[in-house]
Amino acid sequence: MNDRSIVRTPQAGGQGTWVDAYLPENQLAAYQGNQQRLIDVPAIRGILFRQRWLIAVVVAAAGILGLVWTMMATPMYEARSSVRIEPYGAFIVEGQDVEQATPSNQIYDMLQTQLGIITSRALATTVAEDLNLGERYDLLGADIDESRPPNLTDGEWRQAKQNMAAGILHGSVSAELPDRNWIIQIAYRSQDPAIAAEMANAYAAAFAASDTRQSLASNEYAQEYLREQIERTRQRLQEAEQAANAYARANGLILQTTTSEDGEAGATLTSTNLSNINARVAAAQAARIEAEQRWRSIQNLPTSQLAEVQSNPLLQGLVAERTAKQAELVSLRQRYLDGHPQVATLLAQIETLDRQIEQSGNDIKAAARTEYTVARNQELALQAELASATGATMAEQDRQVEYGVLEREAQALRDQLQTLLNRFNQVSSATNVQSGTVNLLDHAIVPASPYSPNLMRNLAVALALGLACAAALALLREILDNRIRSFEEVEDRIGLPFLGHTPYVRSEDIESAEANTYSPLMEAYASIRSTIDFNLPREGAVIQLTSSQPGEGKSTTAMILAELFAGHGRKTLLVDGDLRRPSLGRMIDGERPEKGIMEVLDGQADLPSVVVKGHNENLDILVSGTRASNPGEVLASRRFHEFVDACRQEYSLVIFDSSPMLGLADSPMLAQAVDGTIFVVEANRAQISQVRNAIKRLRTSGGHPVGAILTKYRSLEAGHTYDYQYAYYHYGEAK
């Protein structure tokens, strides 16, 4: 059994009977968790039943107060006007969007802001000033001047009345948040329906006008701000341009007036000169290379092979003439010798032509060489000039960096000034144009009937508040009340095994219930007897019945259980162990015996001579007899223990009806002599703390508590239905 635990559960088929069930540890945790998670409906139902009169009285009182308040309340009228909100505005010209349109994810915040504006003190003051409500006696009251403080001037008193009117407006107006639309309802409440409609319309008009004023004020503020910024920017631009010009003059920077495609100013004269020289150097270098290549290609060629010679008409004429002379010379040599004058003449002419042709070719070569030389010299000269211009330009670049900073600052100010001028023109054109963010939609009409007081609503509110108050009071009473009401609390809050419970029976009905074997009372005691019998030895068992306080049904329980045990064949002795206030003698039919347990303990009588027979032949009853002077010493004496041992030998079961446990030493002393003690606990009366203290005292004295019996149980008080208690006991009876 190390891996199992005991759980007390209802027995199947029976009401009010509990048995022990053994569950493994893993199932026990789940079982306990389910028990804690379930809503304790019977406990709630029990609280409602126990506190029913409190709840009924509080709720009824709340309803009566609500009815009285409704009948005595002054009728109030409510008028409503409405305005339409355009969060994105209606921009007619550029410049109306000084305040940007509201983002879609902030529409709700914007509408909430509009509601705050409507219900603000500032708008109430505006409405009061627009309508001059400080002089309206229908709003302030006809006797308002009678409350004028003596130390106020006329002007101060008018302002004070204006403030009072604004306060009345501020406390009487309300606005409702729109639901899936942009239409705000403005409600005004007053005792006068005409004033309610007038003020609702005045609020709507003032709210729309305030939006227009705010828009115009925003544009005027924007104009003034832009005007200041333009003047400041213009002054800064002038200073920046003067600083740039002064720097250029001081450093000899001369800029061209042209502007490049990217918007930047043109280069200086020095940089332009460098660019021109660089272009001329490149051209001279190309010309030199061309001249050099031409010269080198013709310097070693024969004159006749020169392209210029071949393409020159004059030279071609000389060549043709020389060819003709040579042909004529060949013809003459066929007839004459070289010394002939005609031959000599032709030879001289041919030589002259050769010299002319050679001289012309040489001139052409000389011209090419001269052209090459000139191109080379020009290149060298331009390269020297380029080196000089490059040095000057590099020196100027250092100065131009600072000038560029000044010029860029000036250009930024020019752009900024242009932007400000454009924006100023836009705002100026939109100054007198209304944006239309707030527009009037519906005007308020004079209400025909009051909205308050509303009888049904007031009663509903009063009943709801009454229920809440009643619930709080009922809960407080339940928290302060720690009485035992149900048999579940016996184990959960006291910690004793539950042996059974008996139903509540009126005192005048107990005898008839005992006489009927099938009555709910006797059926309950029969179930308790079987449970006790299951846990007691068959022979020589001695038990004690006690309670925490008197009057819990202990003696009645002892008498009935003794008769039931005797009826089942067990020889039973019922002993009145309450030596201070004995009660068994009064419960015996017939004449009360004069001798009892005290005479037996003193040796004045033996047990068989003083016992009284009960209704069953197996039942003997022993009363207390003579009143003991010190019951505690008697129960703790050796003679009493010997008496108990003797009874064990004679009877199968001995039951002691003892005194209450608290405040007396009798029951703790008696508990040391018996096998076990059964606590009798009266439902709806016994305090949990008292029962716990009684059990603690019993255990401290060495006693052994067997379990508890819950008497006078009322199912409705515990939160159970009537059938929960009585269905089992009436099983089989005709309806």
Q: What is the pLDDT of residues 76-103, one digit of tens each?
A: 888 999 998 877 655 544 544 544 556 6
Q: Which two tokens stand for residue 551?
A: 């009057």
4 bridge partner residues: 24
**pLDDT value, residue 186:** 92
493 within a domain of the structure (yes/no): yes
Same domain? 605 vs 712: yes
Same domain? 491 vs 422: no
Q: Which two tokens stand for residue 286?
A: 């190309």
Q: At 678, which helix (H) or strand (E)? A: strand 676-682
94 within a domain of the structure (yes/no): no
Q: Could you tell me the residue range of the domain that residue 621 belongs to?
A: 487-726
690 within a domain of the structure (yes/no): yes
Whether omega for the bond prior to residue 453 falls within 30 degrees of 0, making it cis, is yes
**pLDDT value, residue 219:** 67
Sole residue written with tokens 């819990």: 552
Residues for the chain: how many in total? 735
Residue type, 440: L
Distances (CA, A) of 330 to 334, 345, 348, 536: 7, 13, 14, 179
Same domain? 547 vs 413: no
Same domain? 424 vs 495: no
Contact by Cβ (8 Å): 707, 678: yes
Contact by Cβ (8 Å): 651, 565: no
3-class secondary structure per residue, 509-578: HHHHHHHCCCCHHHHHHHHHHHHHHHHCCCCCEEEEEECCCCCCCHHHHHHHHHHHHHHCCCCEEEEECC
Residues 305-310: contacts with CB under 8 Å, at least 24 apart: 306/361, 306/364, 306/365, 308/364, 309/357, 309/360, 309/361, 309/364
* 3-state secondary structure (DSSP) of residue 725: helix
Please state the separation of Cα 294 from the chain's center in Å: 94
- pLDDT less than 50: residues of the chain: 1-38, 92-93, 95-96, 98-99, 258-265, 728-729, 732-735
Cβ atoms within 10 A of the Cβ of 224, count? 11
Q: In what order do the strands lie in the sheet with 183-190?
A: 173-176, 183-190, 77-85, 438-442
273 within a domain of the structure (yes/no): yes
Q: Are strands 4-10 and 653-657 parallel, antiparallel or unpaired?
A: unpaired
Same domain? 523 vs 664: yes
Q: CA-CA-CA-CA torsion for 277, 278, 284, 285, nearest 10 degrees?
A: 160
Sole residue written with tokens 């003579």: 626
244 within a domain of the structure (yes/no): no
Contact by Cβ (8 Å): 408, 258: no
The whole-angstrom separation of Cα 201 and Cα 495 is 73
193-250 and 107-118 helices, crossing angle to 10°: 120
**pLDDT value, residue 34:** 44
Nearby residues of 213 by Cβ (< 8 Å), 6 or more positions away: none
Q: Which two tokens stand for residue 297?
A: 């290609």
Same domain? 549 vs 682: yes
**pLDDT value, residue 271:** 67
Q: Global pTM?
A: 0.48
Domain count, the chain: 3
687 within a domain of the structure (yes/no): yes
Same domain? 401 vs 503: no
**DSSP code string of 240-297:** HHHHHHHHHHHTT--B-S-B-TTS-B--BHHHHHHHHHHHHHHHHHHHHHHHHHHHHH
**pLDDT value, residue 734:** 42
Q: Are strands 18-24 and 4-10 parallel, antiparallel or unpaired?
A: antiparallel
Residues 691-696: contacts with CB under 8 Å, at least 24 apart: 691/484, 691/494, 691/548, 692/494, 692/495, 693/548, 693/662, 694/546, 694/547, 694/548, 694/660, 694/661, 694/662, 695/494, 695/495, 695/496
Contact by Cβ (8 Å): 192, 454: no
Q: Residue 559: which CATH number?
A: 3.40.50.300
Residue 555: φ, ψ to 5°? -65, -40
**DSSP code string of 630-675:** -HHHHHHSHHHHHHHHHHHHH-SEEEEE---STT-SHHHHHHTTSS
pLDDT tens-digit readout, 540-558: 889 999 888 888 888 888 8
* 3-state secondary structure (DSSP) of residue 183: strand
Same domain? 505 vs 647: yes
Same domain? 415 vs 555: no
467 within a domain of the structure (yes/no): no
Same domain? 395 vs 284: yes
**pLDDT value, residue 256:** 60
Same domain? 533 vs 663: yes
Same domain? 352 vs 275: yes
The whole-angstrom separation of Cα 170 and Cα 668 is 76
128 within a domain of the structure (yes/no): no
